[in-house]
Structure 1
Amino acid sequence: MIYDLGLYPDQLSQIERLCQREKRNRKRILCTIRTFQYDIYPSHISDLRMAAYRSIIIQEMLRDIKLTRQYRQKHSIQNNKNYIRNKNEKISKRNFNKTSTTTIIWMDPQYHFIDSKHSIIGQLQSKILHQSAILSWPIEQPTSALTHPRMFEYFHTTKENFYFHRMIRPDHLMITINDKTWKPFEWGIMLPWVRCALTSDCIAPLGSQWRSTCRLDKKPHYRYSGCHHYDMSALNVVLGIAFNFSSTPYSARLSQRFFWPFNRPMPIEKQNSQDDNEDDDIMFEYQFEDGEDQQTNNVPGRYDLVMNDDDIPEEFFDQSHSQKKKSSGFLFSSSSSSTSSGSS
């Protein structure tokens, strides 16, 4: 899925051609293009420097996947041969005990997949599913250095909690959830992240500036650098609260990268070697540190400390408002029932 955030017509046509390839006189759809609907969201979302669209797009995808799964399950109950009727005319179920898994990989357009690294995705899926539901790659700066102090106030926390909390980069994210972790992730991570994106006072507090005043040489390094990272800052504050101010559960190692920037040449050793243990880094803006994986059973579950369902604007929350603003649909279901099983 490719989201159009404001492409020129010729750019859009070029991408459309790339998404449809001819093979044996038949078109193969390799990707789908969806235009982001700025008009149904607050005006500040259109400021691309904030990247406030990121959390909204991910939640739109989760919403659509959930609706598709519910639709498929409804029809599978009616049509699948694994369902039989017993003497009491009750529906019994066979071989539907497996919990379905959904994976979303977010990548900003400056990155591409590395063909030889596709196997890493499968390895990470298992880790993410059993450990954190979300995963990204860290930078050395703590969250307090790149987050305006007023954002911490908005989340009812303090900057001191984030002095040693390493930030992760949201321009490449991997999310893997199943029926058991869907609701904790959606309500514990996505809801507060989206809510902040929709609220200008949260994502862009008064006095916050974009990169022009970065002072990363300030000591101690956890002091606010004067450079606020908007959407990136919001996600890291949400994750810090959800995971008890430790970034270890959702941080990947450099050797687990399966992507690379288009404008950077692949290192020779990476092109000719299958060794994933080399952690040379020319990819990122900051110096990384590679740490050992620590297996935990943490799942985002502290959502009661972050937000509740009354805090998000109603038109983005409940299906009952679709008549007022039909084009927006809803981002979060108000149903308390668990996510339905199905394939995605």
Structure 2
Amino acid sequence: MRTKHLILILIGVIIATIVFIAFGPAGELVVQTHQQFKEFQENLRVGLEPKKLDIDPKYLLLLGFTTPKDASTQQQQLEQQDTGAIGSSHQILRKTDFSAPATKAELELIELRGLRRPQDVVTFGGQAADRGQWGQRKRITTPYNGTKSNFTIVTYVMEGQAASAIILAQNIAAKLPTEYLLIYDLGVSEVQLRDLGAYCNNSRCSVITYDLSEFPSFVGDQRTHAYRPIVIKDGLMRARSVLFLENYMRVRGGSAQLQNLQNIVMNPEVRRAGVKNAGVLGWNTPTAVSSLTHPKMFDYFASKAEEFNFLRMVDLDAVFFSDSPLVSEKIMLPWLKCCLTLECIDPIGAQSNGCKFNKKPLYRYSGCHGYDASAFNIVLGLTSQMDNSEYSLPSDSPRNMFYKETLEQATRILESRRRNSSETSDHPFTDD
């Protein structure tokens, strides 16, 4: 009898425990744990899936990427927008497949395609502008579709960098007086823009105020430099070949040396007979691409860091680009897709300082990420089958006609020149 009672009590305790676990606080804990386990499984599954560089089509439209199929689709969208624009601007928002941030660009495209009368449009700084805005800033967001020049030097300026851009404009005018210079204003103040305009106000130098607000907000981050390929792509829509320079770069030598470098980019046989180059020419460093690229970025290019252990990193300080199908589709397009995808350009854990180059072997990840430069080098490596001789020369090559000048140096030189100082030590253009 005592054993029977003991068994009944034990069964009761077990039942009570089960009820408590199922419906009490412990039950909630079990449910939460199970849910977290399911979420972990889902995250693991997503993490194992191939990373893709899919961006909103409106960005491709803004950047001038079109195929016959894309052009047909865009034409239909523009026709729908034209009908809506005549009736009401609200109809444009309902009829377009693009989201609101691209509306400004869509309206500009409508104007460029003929809804505005030609006499209502004038040229200001090389761009279309309303007569009512003559002498004022006109922000550009739409792809350029005018006549291309043969060659243009392209740079950009951000707030606080006007002194460097001004000295660069003077440098180009002195060393390469027959070449065109386009300076992309990416957000300088009105005061700095006026200062820049005083030195860049002729047929060989133009300032283009480019509106980055049409793109994701992180594109304007000076840490990632995601705006650099956007500037280069716009430059390639204006010229058959461009030389992209950071505004702190300066030119030594002259037109003959520049022409030699242009020939290397445009004529593959100049570099190496029988080998097709990438249509790009930069300057490589001893540092491996794998050392300055966060491992997670490689996933977006279906590649591995080990493949880049012995590929030299190319700086973006000075790079030549040719406007060719290869450059447009195989280099610029994937590069821009990465720079417009936050997880690609700026992986979790990426940073630009704290580099540790003393790790052995030297191609190990240093802890520093190159952001847009890393993506650029991955694309170049994959395009050229890891042969950097197709798109770069050693940075210590005698053909390297560029050198750097800090913002502090540029500011000091500019102030000295404004005071009409003749100190040779402050002269910005040397051949050293």
Question: Under TM normalisation by the shorter chain, which class is it?
Answer: 0.5 to 0.7
* Matched residue, 2:285: 139
User: In structure 2, which of residues 180, 191, 205 is the aligned counterpart of residue 10 of structure 1?
Assistant: 191
Shift of 1:46: 1.3
Are positions 1:104 and 2:258 aligned together? Answer: no
Residues 23-38 of structure 1 aligned to structure 2 (within 5 Å): 28-38=202-212
* Matched residue, 1:49: 223
- Look up the SS of the partner of 2:232 in the other structure: helix
Are positions 1:243 and 2:374 aligned together? Answer: no
- More deviation in 126-135 or 102-111? 126-135
**Structure 2-normalised TM-score?**
0.49
User: In structure 2, which of residues 327, 333, 336 is the aligned counterpart of residue 185 of structure 1?
Assistant: 327
Shift of 1:176: 2.8
Q: 2 CA distance for matches of 1:175 and 1:128? A: 7
- Paired AA for residue 188 in structure 2: L
User: In structure 2, which of residues 260, 280, 302 is the aligned counterpart of residue 123 of structure 1?
Assistant: 260
User: In structure 1, which of residues 144, 158, 180 is the aligned counterpart of residue 304 of structure 2?
Assistant: 158
Unaligned runs of 5+ in 2: 1-181, 269-276, 410-424
Q: 2 CA distance for matches of 1:164 and 1:63? A: 33
* Matched residue, 1:80: none
* Matched residue, 2:8: none
- Look up the SS of the partner of 2:356 in the other structure: coil
Shift of 1:118: 2.6
Are positions 1:203 and 2:341 aligned together? Answer: no
* Runs (4+) off by over 4 Å: none
- Look up the SS of the partner of 1:252 in the other structure: strand
- Look up the SS of the partner of 2:237 in the other structure: helix
Aligned residues: 220
Which entry has the higher C-alpha Rg, 1 or 2? 2
Counterpart contact for 2:281–2:393, Cα < 8 Å: yes
Residues 70-89 of structure 1 aligned to structure 2 (within 5 Å): none
* Matched residue, 1:260: 403
Shift of 1:4: 1.0
Q: 2 CA distance for matches of 1:52 and 1:35? A: 17
Shift of 1:64: 4.1
User: In structure 1, which of residues 201, 220, 230 is the aligned counterpart of residue 371 of structure 2?
Assistant: 230
- Paired AA for residue 398 in structure 2: S
User: In structure 1, which of residues 11, 24, 39 is the aligned counterpart of residue 213 of structure 2?
Assistant: 39
**Structure 1-normalised TM-score?**
0.61
Aligned-CA RMSD value: 1.8
Q: 1 CA distance for matches of 2:232 and 2:304? A: 27
Unaligned runs of 5+ in 1: 21-27, 66-101, 273-344
Shift of 1:192: 0.3
Counterpart contact for 1:45–1:198, Cα < 8 Å: yes
- Look up the SS of the partner of 1:208 in the other structure: coil
**With CA pairs under 8 Å and 6+ residues apart, which has the higher RCO, 1 or 2?**
1
Counterpart contact for 1:118–1:258, Cα < 8 Å: no
Counterpart contact for 2:236–2:322, Cα < 8 Å: no
User: 1 or 2, which has the higher helix percentage?
Assistant: 2
Counterpart contact for 1:112–1:259, Cα < 8 Å: yes
